[in-house]
Structure 1
């Protein structure tokens, strides 16, 4: 079975210099156009993309669909990106999350070194952030 292990099962560090493996990624944004563009970029990069338009919807999806990564907007009604990240940390402490924000400063409560994607972002920005996270 060890010989059949996928790239995702490799210990950290072994994937250095390789593109990120094919991942199942949940994108969360209340802006339909931003969400559409993010999903299109993720699919162009070879990933499977799921979508949610709010924090509560994202948590419902995560209950039913294990994913490799969550990319969430910060400024959303009902539940901010940081509130969503906090809820994810409680239930799935090892699930990587990237915070996408148009603000220069990380919001209060964000851990130093938390992966951040500055909006607006390009497909190259998205790819390099994901690759760094899984390198």
Structure 2
């Protein structure tokens, strides 16, 4: 089962996204900020990350940069209302504007995995 690290500081959004991803067949580990996300991934490495961008203690971009020091090709979706602040040059990264429906998030995650599978076939 594909393991998703979900990092979101808004409890209602996190709960909704977690339930949606689990119903779509993913195993989900939830963290409330970037530092907690790093700790969670060290304990149980994820196959992909879905993260908010602006969070207390450590933002999603900083967390992804640290995670990718160990796994450069870790796929990620950054969900944010501040897309202009996100580095869009990283491979295997999608940026989704807030607000996003749970079904759109699941669809974008599926597309990201499809794109990776297609790229790695060559």
Bucket of the pairwise TM-score, normalised by the shorter protein: 0.7 to 0.9
**Normalised by the size of structure 1, how large is the TM-score?**
0.76
Q: Give unpaired runs (5+ residues) of structure 2.
A: 115-122
1:124 to 92, 103, 109: 103
Q: Name the counterpart of 1:39.
A: 18
CA contact (8 A) 1:82 1:107 kept: no
SS in structure 1 at match of 2:74: coil
Q: Name the counterpart of 1:107.
A: 85
Q: Give the number of aligned pairs.
A: 113
C-alpha displacement of 1:95: 1.2
Bigger-Rg structure (1/2): 1
**Normalised by the size of structure 2, how large is the TM-score?**
0.83
1:51 to 14, 27, 30: 30
C-alpha displacement of 1:66: 1.8
SS in structure 2 at match of 1:50: strand
Q: Report the aligned-residue RMSD.
A: 1.7
SS in structure 1 at match of 2:110: helix
Larger relative helix fraction? 2
Q: Give unpaired runs (5+ residues) of structure 1.
A: 1-21
Q: Which of the pair has the greater relative contact order for Cα pairs under 8 Å at 6+ separation?
A: 1
Cα distance in 1 for residues equivalent to 2:102 and 2:7: 16
Q: Check 1:118–1:62 CA distance in 2 against 1; reply closer, same or farther (3 A cut).
A: same
